Structure 1
């Protein structure tokens, strides 16, 4: 493991590609690529699969089960890393992901696809969580922001390359070929894990899995997902409220457990880790509405085709990765703190600009708003994640680090459900005129702006004091 160093100003991008760090950089970026590309590959090819094997009524569950199981897997990632060791945990998770990929790719029914997608989600959730937890293990503090910048580039490449590759393969070969793109990526990932990731576990205790809490987490996220398919507003509200109650109870019980899944100060309002995790949750909750409704509105309101509307949506990823690369060279701790606080502010500004753009019927303004949202994530996400990692209490850094991607996924799930609830309350599905559609869309993004304000307040409340010693680090 690496201790923090005093030569942060000497950090260079090229250092990630030196013999000392290149394999680790490739391994972690490939772990992110598995998650990123898989989502775009499946979303592009699955409609064709449904036309061949049937099961249209179950198509949404292919995404729901993946999301639920990925969050459950992510929640158990730190525990598995500590008890099995990072190498065995990652290889085991990759094998589960591979098995799910093969089952889905050779499926003859939608039921088999759902089984495969569930296994993919479980494996990828563990992979994402452990890859995050390994960042401070494999890289010195001065390079951590650059690692997050490199991962942002992977997401941007996946946003453009994933649908293109999946579309070409689906049209020229088969939808099954699009699924099978994951196979060589996963095999390369396993080979790199054997080369670079430490074998030993950090705890000698036997593996004890808190199935009840993990099941409750899955149940809570499932309630969130079910809210999106309820037929009445009352049932939607009950599902979201029930999910909130279950997840709050899980956090409360976890704090008293002998085998905790989360850091002891998770979501506390008095610590960097606690407040930082609130920001990690609230920013995706606020942004999720654009992922669900922006493309659809652009097509229905302004007549954009899928390509143009998709390009509008993808500008979010481009802005995120571009800004993440630009700010990764910032080493001054005070400026980094300012970047963390600037992120939610840009998110709120971008969402408000979306409302303005639709109100004024100006697509260019909408594009600026979408890019501002991406810039908000790009300017803050790496520094925010690093701050949470480095501020964790002794012995809790793995749990804090592994929770970051899991909480991000949970935020998107919750945000999508809340956006759906608002959309139904604003009669978005029933909007038949441009005026009605514009009004409903503005309502959705106005509510998202208010959620973003909570993240912005949390950003200014974040106590940013850099730890000078990693108590859990060993040279």
Structure 2
């Protein structure tokens, strides 16, 4: 399905690809709008149900369930086919949405959020696995560009829509916005996703491996949101790393693996790409952890302005993604990946300066530069990983990408939460104390952004030296 010619944006809307384009863009929309809808409506839910102690857990259980379900996607897709998996996963997401929206207590909201996360994680992973199956190489970058536009629209429209519905109807109605989106998605799946033969030799459900993944991610999330003692949090993170390492080792020796062959190898382009998929969001996640809070408490703006500044990144991301989507070729993609990673480093340095110098203009510029860098790098990075794996491993590699991205964000939340607490974030609420903690967190982010930059440069050198392993 590869083509040497450069694709055109109009091809995404052509009869051959329109249904598939809409399906995968809507898969991105389910995740994006749900994230922004819930973040806006959840404080009202917490207030009504008197569940302030559970606010952070509404995200924690969602992320853990999403990552765990996403990790199972390659085997489930092989055993049951993509269409069946998407039907079931969408139904699970809808059930979780209903459970959360109709909950009489915060405990039931948490159950609904966990079910939502499991459904969304599987939808995202299967959707990524379908990209190289449904689209020729020349259109993949443009599809990622279109999905980035969906994210930008969700970043601005989601909070506004959820805010209006929450204020004039209820937070429960805001949650239920997901249901018509899922209904349209199911119709598109029926039209666009081909029926596949079931592979009954795809292996047993990897319960032990997924259990270790869930345990590791839960430990990381607990360290991020529930532990006050910094060294206690560090110990939990170390235990989580051990769980995930054991899960990977078990998977490498399994007859049917979750991970693609050579995953995380430091001597191949796709192996380095998988590391970058994890590490780049980890470094960038400092903005998601602290930026909106800092704008509110250091500059005194309300949630609307702070959220708008936070959304600058989504617009810049889509701009970068659309720009690089007009170019094709493996060499160019690898160049874009390195350029994007370098731009992210620059953006984090600008953000660090904004905290050190207390300049809101630099906060906005930092958001713009970081988003632009991520947009330049991300679609090319995902496409390189997909296309450098052999056909038999491509489903596993593609499905792993959104799972690794989410894991990177979760790990980043834990790491920067730990750094912030060590710098006094939880103990010194004064503006000076908060600014010191922000500077420490952004210094850590800059340092953590250099390893993925180095990995992207190594990817380019390996490619120029010869075919990847």
TM category (shorter chain) comes to: over 0.9
Contact 1:86 1:201 in 2 (8 A): no
Contact between 2:312 and 2:368, CA under 8 Å: does it hold in 1? yes
Any conservation in 2 of the 1:390–1:397 contact (CA below 8 Å)? Answer: yes
2:2 alignment counterpart: 4
Equivalent position to 2:73, from 44, 61, 77:
77
Q: Does 1:90 align with 2:50?
A: no
TM-score (norm 1): 0.95
Cα distance per residue 1:239-283 (max 9 Å; x no partner): 111111111221121111112111121111011111001111011
Q: Secondary structure at the match of 1:428?
A: coil
2:186 maps to which residue? 190
Unaligned runs of 5+ in 2: none
Query: In the alignment, is the contact (CA less than 8 A) between 1:84 and 1:207 conserved in 2?
Result: no
- Say whether 1:208 aligns with 2:171: no
1:347 matched to which residue of 2? 344
1:236 corresponds to: 233
Matching residue within 258, 275, 284 for 1:287: 284
Query: Per-residue displacement from partner, 1:299-351 (whole Å, max 9, x unpaired)?
Result: 11111222221121111111000111111001143222210111111111111
Q: Is structure 2 residue 55 aligned with structure 1 residue 59? A: yes
Query: Is residue 81–residue 201 contact of structure 1 (8 Å, CA) maintained in 2?
Result: no
Give the structure 2 partner of residue 168 of structure 1. 164
Q: Distance in 2 between matches of 1:283 and 1:73?
A: 22
Relative to structure 1, the CA distance from residue 332 to residue 207 in structure 2 (aligned partners, 3 Å threshold; closer, same or farther) is: closer
Query: Structure 1 unaligned runs (5+)?
Result: 470-475
CA displacement at 1:437 relative to structure 2: 2.1
| CA displacement 1:147-179 (0-9 Å, x = unmatched) | 000111111111111111111111111111111
The alpha-carbon distance between structure 1 residues 196 and 56, as it changes in their structure 2 partners (threshold 3 A), is same
CA contact (8 A) 1:210 1:259 kept: no
Q: Which residue of 2 aligns with 1:261?
A: 258
Distance 2:337 2:108 in 1: 43
Q: Helix, strand or coil: the match of 2:212?
A: helix
Match of 1:335 in 2: 332
| Aligned equivalents of 2:202, 2:72: Cα separation in 1 | 15
Q: What secondary structure is seen at the aligned counterpart in 2 of 1:200?
A: coil
Aligned residues: 464
Q: What is the alpha-carbon distance in structure 1 between the residues aligned to residue 168 and residue 432 of structure 2?
A: 41
Residue of structure 2 in register with 1:472 after alignment: none
Equivalence for 2:28: 32
Counterpart CA distance in 1 for 2:338 and 2:137 is 20
C-alpha deviation, 1:112, in angstroms: 1.5
| Separation in 2, partners of 1:19, 1:207 | 37
Residue 373 (1) aligns with residue 370 (2): yes
* Alpha-carbon contact 2:317-2:375 (below 8 Å) kept: yes
8 Å CA contact retained: 1:254, 1:262: yes
SS of the aligned residue for 1:462 comes to helix
1:367 CA drift (Å): 1.4
Q: Does 1:132 align with 2:122?
A: no
Q: Which runs of 4+ in 1 moved over 6 A?
A: none
1:237 and 1:259 map into 2 onto residues whose CA distance is 33
C-alpha separation between the residues in 2 aligned to 1:173 and 1:90? 31
Instruction: Name the structure 2 match of 1:473.
Output: none
